[in-house]
Amino acid sequence: MHRLAESSYAGHMAQHMLLLLVAGPLLAAGAAGLPLTLAAPRTLRRLLARVRATAPVRRLRRPAEHALLAAAAQTLALWLWHLPGPYVAAVDRPVLHAAEHLSLVAAAWLLWAPVLGPARHRTPAPVSLLLLVGTMLPASALGAVLTFAPEPVYPPRVLGPDPLADQQLAGLLMWAPMDLVVLVAALAVFLGWLLRLERERPDRLAPARPARPGAPPAKGAATEGMVR
């Protein structure tokens, strides 16, 4: 994939989609934060513990704040590194290229952690749905811009033999996989939410049964009749 990315913008985009839609979700689902922290040197572990204990970081770990931070980080990383200037700079400088990939993985990990992470750290289902859909829309917009641009927006030297076709294929690679993965994840979150509601409050979701002829009215109905 790395060799393909060196000769084609579409290959580079496929590499980015693997980082965003495979590596990041797997790190989140595997709860990799704890083992990585334990594997760090003692000085770094102490520094991380002090940072986690600060008031701003504790606020950012709340569901709503975490969702806003994750959505902003994903959108910023995605748009920043696919602007012509930063993208060309990353292609020309290996250090920036490594920083690009690291930021994409970190943003994806941050995004998927409240959705796929340990149950005690997950955000409520409505927040997860808004988080997924809210981050899908900017990515789809960027993919649409690259797909429907009438001419290449990048220098020809960073594109394939057919620059416009390479850019359009890259836009489709961003557009279609991102939408598909996020929509499937959102549907799974929504169905899981409904199943939990059914287990916890079956009376809220069960359809009301009609009263049998001659049966005494329910307590709530009798009370309502007395009020009327």
Instruction: Give me the numbers of helices (H) and strands (E) for the chain, helices first please.
Output: 13, 0
Residue 206: the pLDDT is: 54
Residue 144: the pLDDT is: 92
pTM: 0.77
* pLDDT tier at 105, thresholds 50, 70, 90: very high
Summary mean pLDDT of the chain: 82
- Lowest mean pLDDT, pick from 1-10, 57-66, 123-132, 150-159: 57-66
Cα–Cα distance measured from residue 81 to residue 9, given in angstroms and rounded to the nearest whole number: 13
CB neighbour burial string for 78-103, b if at least 16 within 10 angstroms, e if fewer? beebbeeeebeebbeeeebbeebbeb
Return the closest-CA partner of residue 153 out of 170, 139, 138, 140: 170
Question: Sign of the C-alpha dihedral, residues 15, 21, 26, 32?
Answer: positive
Residue 218: the pLDDT is: 53
Mean pLDDT confidence for 132-137: 88
pLDDT at 169 over 50: yes
Name the residue ranges covered by the structural domains of the chain: 2-202
* pLDDT tier at 226, thresholds 50, 70, 90: very low
Using an 8 Å Cβ cutoff, are 124 and 166 in contact? no
Using an 8 Å Cβ cutoff, are 173 and 17 in contact? yes
Using an 8 Å Cβ cutoff, are 132 and 189 in contact? yes
User: Which tokens go with 222?
Assistant: 């009798």
pLDDT at 38 over 60: yes
* pLDDT tier at 31, thresholds 50, 70, 90: confident
Cα–Cα distance measured from residue 154 to residue 12, given in angstroms and rounded to the nearest whole number: 13
* pLDDT tier at 26, thresholds 50, 70, 90: very high
203-222 pLDDT tens trace:
655 555 555 555 555 555 44
Residue 203: the pLDDT is: 61
Residue 107: the pLDDT is: 92
Distances 92 to 15, 18, 157, 181 between C-alpha atoms, Å: 17, 21, 11, 31
184-200 pLDDT tens trace:
999 998 898 888 888 87
Return the closest-CA partner of residue 106 out of 150, 66, 73, 147: 73
Cα–Cα distance measured from residue 141 to residue 149, given in angstroms and rounded to the nearest whole number: 12
